[in-house]
Amino acid sequence: RGEPTAEGFPVSVLHQMSSHAEPEVLLEKVGRAGVITMNRPKVLNALNLTMIRQIYPQLKKWESDNETDIVIIKGAGDKAFCAGGDIRAVTEAGKVGDSLAQDFFREEYILNNAIGSYRKPYIALIDGITMGGGVGLSVHGRFRVATEKTLFAMPETAIGLFPDVGGGYFLPRLQGKLGLFLALTGFRLKGRDVQRAGVATHFVESKKVPCALSCWFKSLCALFLKTISLLFSVSCPNSVRLFSASSVEGIVKNLKTDGSEFAKKQTETLSKMSPTSLKITLKQLQAGASLSLQDVLVMEYRLSQACMRGYDFYEGVRAVLVDKDQNPKWNPSTLEEVSDQMVEQCFSSLGEKDLTL
């Protein structure tokens, strides 16, 4: 059943959860565009397995549908595109040995790969908070459009995880040591900086979003986006070079020696992160720099399952998302106690349980 929208295009709702008044994700056709709307504004459009299982098959259908030219993904409400995965549910499942702890990561990474290899223009409108799982839904697509309200971060080291969803692929490909800096500290990029960093490909003011959307709905977007030439000068803060060391201890040493305000602040931030997460993340980005997105996702699936077997992920989620005391007790509690062998083990094959793409 088609209904006219504000733009005057017929909309047919392709999927709705049976009896719920508010489906958690809207999948619609607007003109020749497939439109995905993350629709849990009260929880900042957090991504859960139910949503992944709705988005993935529709995305594949649109890819081979000759009446669909482009796919647009956006978030409902005015705060977030998607603030991340529904991680709390995952750790609860992990504690009781529920398969959600494997299925969530596996299916999320399969979706990330489908976006990264999509054969039609995929436009993510990242207007608002875009973190973790929300980054995985956007950054691998051909176009990422930021606004002044975009707030980007990969904050996983604060919860005993690592910057997954293909972070091991896109982060080491940002200029210099910027990706490693973002990965270890969870630093938040805002507005135009999201584009300057290369996370977004385009920038529009949020007040112009309705106009941009209506243009994309008419599928002029391919042309529109092609004609915008981006001549922004990328200048990353010089201090990010302090992150060029081959170990986390080396980075901390660089920061302490430097002693600037920036360096002091980053040292303090790093001291709050899971030491295990920091070491896993450094190795993940070092390895990911020369791997394909597919191989990175296979590696990250191994890492996700290592985190599920470990201690810090549960403790991080407890401290940051459940009790909110912001005071995780990491184990091991120092970088020195996290041996190379412990890190190495997290990267080992899961045999027949490995992710296959």
Ligand X SMILES: *[C@@H]1O[C@H](CO)[C@@H](O)[C@H](O)[C@H]1NC(C)=O
As annotated, the active-site residues are 85, 133, 156, 164
Token look-up 């494997």 returns: 102
CB 24 → ligand X: shortest distance, Å?
4
| Whether 146 contacts 195, CB under 8 Å | yes
Least distance to ligand X, CB of residue 103, Å: 9
H and E: helices and strands count for the chain:
15, 12
Q: Which is nearer to ligand X, 59 or 225 (CB)?
A: 59
Instruction: Look up residue 350 and give its two tokens.
Output: 């899961």
State the DSSP H helix or E strand holding residue 310, giving kind and residue range, or none if neither. none
Nearer to ligand X, 98 or 148 (CB): 98
Provide the minimum distance between the beta carbon of 60 and ligand X in the complex, in angstroms, as a whole number: 14
Stated as kind and residue range, the H or E segment containing 294 is helix 293-309
Distance CA 346, CA 357 (A): 20
In whole angstroms, what is the distance from residue 336 CA to residue 252 CA? 12
- Three-class HEC string of 335-346: CCCCCHHHHHHH
CB of 4 to ligand X, least distance (A): 25
Residues forming the site for ligand X (CB under 6 A): 24, 40, 48-50, 66, 86, 89
| Residue whose CB is less far from ligand X, 170 or 313 | 313
Nearer to ligand X, 61 or 208 (CB): 61
**Rounded to 5 degrees, what are φ and ψ at 82?**
-165, 120
Six-digit token string for 301: 């699936």
